Chain A
């Protein structure tokens, strides 16, 4: 029998979330509990994250079934993020999903967190399907890949040091802004001049060719250091406070330009003018606007509304439905893997898969 109803569970970082998806990709119920406690500490706290997931998962799953008007017995499978992420946090989700699937006598499905992000936009727009060039940008990842069809991926670029979202978080901390850094910098940048402080565009040079190993790769560590240097120098001059908004705008402009131009390179090289943005940083308005403008009227840009751009169980359910339809069922010995490799991700010539 073809699977139709899948529950997805996501606990890889600080969101405890569940989603219920019905074939071919209809979202019936969706609950996210974000752990606000981390804002106090300027980041995710691993031990707190695991404990909080455990105490909230049951209510989150119950609420999801309640929204959908369905019962757990009706599902055809239980999908769970098996990695990558914080190991303690992942283990809570995996063990919980395993117990539920076992009790229901339904198949357990392991989902890769970043592959799940690719499925998010399709829950709101049935046209958001491959082929597409995907830019996945979050606190822990910066991946540029090409998907000719679901389940088949070519890795084009990745970060060599800090992830894009991590750069936002670290620069926010430098500027005394709250966590997460992305929204805070975006808000402050609205009042700033993005051209006031010329910052480097790492690994973006006009003389690069597709044969260069860094043609699609990213590096944000040097950009962060440039902001550190600038911040210290402005502080010594007593001008930091007045320049903060310009620093935020200049930094955001630098990150966005690199992300957009690298993605456009992938568009030119693959000939695919369909681009999908995923991960928390995809909520950045400048990124969306610039990408849309550079793609032009012949292109198509897919992204999720904020509730599905962040980590969520709905995308896990949708990715799990795909895996279940392909006959992929996890064994009862499934464990979480903090460094789980991206499924069927092939490197392009001259690159390596993370």
Chain B
């Protein structure tokens, strides 16, 4: 069992995201947590691209939700809940119907959904390292019984140096 948090370079984070997109079984819900600039969108874009989404994957901050067709009839749902004031507003976004089909659901600021988060999910926490802005601290938490995720790539040299 890997000890968390991991320390990954951005390209390692991207490689892991692409692999998640290629391999994970759907439906699956991934909450991406972390402060502004931590890499939530970087990871979300990598996962979507890995799942076969073509073209740009713009930030959903303004529109709250974007949907993309992807591999094997999967739909990637990219949401940003930052602007939500109350979980009840999720109704407007089709939250109740999420995960009914083969969806790969990527939610930034999932904590805004409060008790409406699905019982089976992954929570991935991201932080930038204070002493090395190129490194991301990654925490992965399994809640309930979501489909497995591929393991993150080998930790970066900086991480190995510490362990």
Task: Enumerate chain A interface residues (CB-CB to B < 8 A).
Answer: 13, 41, 43-48, 50, 84-88, 139-140, 158-163, 166, 170, 173-174, 217, 221, 224-225, 227-229, 232, 338-339, 352, 354
Contacts and interface: CB of A to CB of B under 8 A. Distances in A.
Contacts of A159: 56, 58-59
Contact of B65 (A162, A224, A338): A338
Given A45-B89, A217-B56, 17 more contacts: A43-B82, A44-B62, A46-B83, A46-B89, A84-B63, A86-B63, A86-B64, A87-B92, A140-B63, A159-B58, A161-B57, A162-B61, A163-B62, A225-B37, A225-B128, A232-B130, A338-B65
Contacts of A352: 54-56
Chain B contact residues: over half helix, strand or loop, or mixed?
A: loop
B63 A339 contact: yes
Contact of A163 (B58, B82, B83, B86): B58
Q: Could you say which of B55, B63, B67, B82 has the most chain A C-beta atoms within 10 Å of its C-beta?
A: B63
A224 B55 contact: no
B45 A339 contact: no
Nearest to A170: B36
18 contacts: A41-B83, A43-B83, A44-B62, A45-B84, A46-B64, A140-B63, A160-B56, A161-B41, A161-B56, A162-B58, A163-B59, A166-B59, A166-B61, A228-B128, A229-B128, A232-B130, A339-B67, A354-B58
Contacts of B56: 158-161, 217, 352, 354
B99 interface: no
Contacts of B62: 13, 44, 139-140, 163, 166
A224 B37 contact: yes
Nearest to A230: B133
Nearest to A47: B89
B88 interface: yes
Nearest to A160: B56
A160 B58 contact: yes
The bracket for how many chain B residues form the interface is 20 to 34
Contact of A354 (B35, B55, B61): B55
A162 B56 CA distance: 11
Contacts of A139: 62
A184 B75 CA distance: 38
Contacts of B36: 170, 173-174, 224, 228
Contacts of A45: 83-85, 89
A99 to B, nearest CB: 21
Nearest to A351: B55
B92 A88 contact: yes
Nearest to A169: B61
B83 A229 contact: no
Contacts of B128: 225, 228-229
